[in-house]
């Protein structure tokens, strides 16, 4: 049977598939085909495909021969893929067990099934997990052409932020100096270095740093990415000895800052302003009430810039809703230019 497919060169296949999944356009009921170096990704609505992608009509096989977890349960489950880990979010232990068993018995490629057992908590933003199948909780997750080794039981990682991270990374120019203030295992920092930027990536979680270094290595950017295990406040000199507490003082250093610690990024704005160079873009993540999602962040950034004593021109260039976080609460990003 013929179906609309996006045709891209094989090397762009995974990135394109993820982009179409994010846009809700990927047709998971049909098979992806490969022919003559091109990949054909089936889509549910040809008219909604972004104009930069070519859509062709092509014969594709249905996926009915594949057993999905939904085929094995009365009520279809919701699950998420993190590399070869399947993540579920079930409160009822019986239902959790049934979903895990269905995932394992299905054709979903999966080594381990983890159930969310708490919210993301603590300084390191790691949740508790219940392991329902498999042994290893370490995996390699692919995002927009990069592979990230990680263990969600020891470090923060959310595959749901892929599109947002890509939006930010696409703005990076070669030779920029970029500080990722809360880098985790590197999903902003590594692709940023791949764009040719010099990156300093900081995280306070000791478990995140070996993954960050390994991810820089396996994606070929170890020479452009310095991973620092520290409280990010220590990248500027606070004791006045002429050096930052991380050996290098990054005051006035950055062309771009990424601050993805949404619940408390405002506590680090004095550091952000201190690290900002003469013309610097700050990507500031926040969680706020839907009635005024951008106002508190913008006001906090202006206040920090004014308190720095430098004469900053502060311009909010983009206000973006990343996702809904809780009822009436939004996870947002402000792209803010600080110009001295
Ligand atoms: C929400 S996660 C974001 C990680 C990464 N940017 C991502 O998108 O996956 C926030 C990270 O900030 C780190 N963190 C928390 N407080 C910190 C601090 N004072 N200095 C540096 N890193 C910190 C946590 O360990 C965690 O990895």
Q: Where are the domains of the chain?
A: 2-59, 69-137, 158-339
Q: Residue 73: left (phi > 0), alpha (psi -120 to 50), or beta?
A: beta
* Pairwise CA distance, residues 41 & 43, whole Å: 6
Q: Does residue 227 sit in helix, strand or coil?
A: strand
| Phi, psi (deg, nearest 5) at residue 254 | -95, 145
Q: How far is the CA of 316 from the centre of ligand 1 (A)?
A: 23
Q: Are 137 and 130 in contact (CB under 8 A)?
A: no
Q: How far is the CA of 165 from the centre of ligand 1 (A)?
A: 14
Residue 48 has pLDDT above 70, yes or no: yes
Element (H, E) at 214: helix 208-218
Which ligand 1 atom sits nearest the alpha carbon of residue 124? 25
Which ligand 1 atom sits nearest the alpha carbon of residue 157? 9
Q: How far is the CA of 73 from the centre of ligand 1 (A)?
A: 37
- Residue 99 CB neighbours (<10 A): 26
Task: State the pLDDT at residue 65.
Answer: 67
Ligand 1 binding pocket (C-beta < 6 A) is: 123-125, 156-157, 161, 182-184, 187-188, 202-205, 208, 231-232, 260-261
Q: Does residue 191 sit in helix, strand or coil?
A: helix
Domain 158-339: give its CATH architecture. 3-Layer(aba) Sandwich (3.40)
Banded pLDDT at 278 (limits 50, 70, 90):
very high
The tokens for 47 are 């008219």
Q: How far is the CA of 47 from the centre of ligand 1 (A)?
A: 39
Task: State the pLDDT at residue 307.
Answer: 95
Residue of the nearest CA to atom 12 in ligand 1? 182
Q: Does residue 144 sit in helix, strand or coil?
A: coil
Domain 2-59: give its CATH architecture. 2-Layer Sandwich (3.30)
Q: Does residue 11 sit in helix, strand or coil?
A: helix
What is the pTM assigned to this prediction? 0.82
Q: Are 208 and 183 in contact (CB under 8 A)?
A: yes
Q: How far is the CA of 63 from the centre of ligand 1 (A)?
A: 39
CATH code that applies to domain 69-137: 3.30.300.110
Choice from 154, 192, 261, 333 to test ligand 1 binding pocket (greatest atom count within 8 A of CB): 261
| Phi, psi (deg, nearest 5) at residue 261 | -140, 75
Banded pLDDT at 244 (limits 50, 70, 90):
low
Distance of CA 75 to the CA centre of its chain: 30
Q: How far is the CA of 231 from the centre of ligand 1 (A)?
A: 9
Q: Residue 308: left (phi > 0), alpha (psi -120 to 50), or beta?
A: alpha
pLDDT tens-digit series, residues 153-208: 999 999 999 999 999 999 999 999 999 999 999 999 999 999 999 999 999 999 99
Q: What percent of the chain has pLDDT over 70?
A: 96
Choice from 163, 184, 257 to test ligand 1 binding pocket (greatest atom count within 8 A of CB): 184
Q: Is the dihedral of CA 147, 169, 201, 198 positive or negative?
A: positive
Q: Are 143 and 135 in contact (CB under 8 A)?
A: no
Q: How far is the CA of 174 from the centre of ligand 1 (A)?
A: 25
The reply to whether domains 2-59 and 158-339 share a CATH topology is no
Q: Are 60 and 1 in contact (CB under 8 A)?
A: yes
């Amino acid at each position: 049977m013929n179906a609309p497919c996006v045709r891209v060169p094989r090397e762009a296949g995974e990135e394109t598939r993820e982009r179409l999944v994010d846009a809700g356009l990927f047709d998971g009921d049909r098979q992806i085909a490969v022919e003559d170096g091109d990949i054909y990704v089936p889509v549910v609505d040809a008219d909604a495909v972004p104009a930069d992608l070519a859509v062709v009509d092509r014969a594709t096989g249905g996926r009915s021969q594949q057993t999905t977890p939904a085929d094995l349960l009365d009520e279809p489950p919701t699950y998420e893929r993190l590399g070869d880990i399947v993540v579920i979010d079930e409160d009822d232990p019986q239902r959790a067990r049934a979903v895990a068993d269905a995932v394992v018995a299905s054709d979903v490629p999966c080594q381990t099934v983890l159930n969310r057992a708490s919210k993301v908590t603590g300084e390191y933003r790691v949740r508790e997990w219940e392991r329902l199948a498999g042994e290893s909780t370490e995996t390699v997750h692919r995002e927009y052409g990069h592979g990230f080794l990680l263990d969600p039981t020891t470090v923060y990682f959310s595959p749901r932020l892929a599109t947002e991270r890509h939006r930010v990374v696409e703005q990076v120019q070669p030779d920029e100096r970029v500080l990722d203030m809360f880098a985790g295992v590197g999903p902003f920092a590594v692709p940023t270095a791949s764009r040719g930027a010099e990156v300093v990536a900081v995280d306070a979680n000791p478990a995140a740093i070996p993954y960050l270094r390994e991810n820089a290595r396996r994606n070929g950017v170890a020479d452009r990415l310095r991973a620092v295990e520290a409280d990010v406040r220590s990248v500027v000199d606070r004791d006045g000895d002429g050096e930052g507490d991380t050996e290098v003082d990054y005051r006035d250093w950055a062309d771009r800052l990424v601050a993805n610690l949404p619940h408390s990024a405002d506590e680090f704005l004095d550091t952000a302003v201190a690290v900002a160079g003469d013309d610097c873009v700050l990507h500031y993540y926040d969680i706020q009430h839907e009635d005024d999602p951008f106002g508190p962040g913008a006001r906090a950034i202006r206040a920090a810039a004014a308190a720095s004593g430098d004469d900053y021109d502060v311009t909010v260039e983009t206000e973006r809703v990343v996702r809904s976080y809780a009822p009436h609460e939004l996870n947002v990003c402000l792209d803010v230019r600080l110009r001295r």
